């Protein structure tokens, strides 16, 4: 479905605009609220790259969808333990 929407947005300016607004709305990101609370608690650095985490996770999920690979425990461990958690421990560049 997502691939179809992206393809359709190439020829439909209204759809393209709506998708871009949705994608750019960080408040809709599941990461924004959860990771924001972790920063407030002091569990993550104050300037943790939450926006980058969202982008990378989304890209990895898209790749998994496109390849038809499963969303199993191994995938979750790879994304969370090997990519996202290490990334979150790096303070954003000043």
pLDDT digits (tens, 9 = 90+) for 19-38: 888 877 767 677 788 888 88
What's the whole-model pTM score? 0.66
Q: What is the percent of the chain with per-residue pLDDT over 70, rounded to a whole number?
A: 90
Burial of 56 (0-12, 13-18, 19+ CB in 10 A): middle
Burial of 79 (0-12, 13-18, 19+ CB in 10 A): middle
Residues 44-93: tens digit of each pLDDT: 888 888 888 888 988 998 888 888 898 899 999 999 999 998 988 876 55
In the chain, where the domains are located: 26-88
């Amino acid at each position: 479905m997502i691939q179809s929407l992206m393809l359709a947005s190439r020829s439909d300016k209204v759809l393209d605009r709506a998708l871009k607004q949705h994608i750019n709305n960080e408040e809709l990101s599941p990461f924004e609220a959860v990771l924001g609370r972790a920063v407030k608690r002091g569990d993550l650095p104050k300037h943790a790259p939450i926006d980058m985490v969202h982008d990378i996770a989304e890209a990895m999920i898209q790749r998994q969808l496109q390849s038809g690979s499963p969303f199993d425990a191994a995938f979750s461990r790879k994304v969370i333990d090997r990519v996202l958690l290490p990334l979150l421990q790096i303070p954003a560049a000043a």
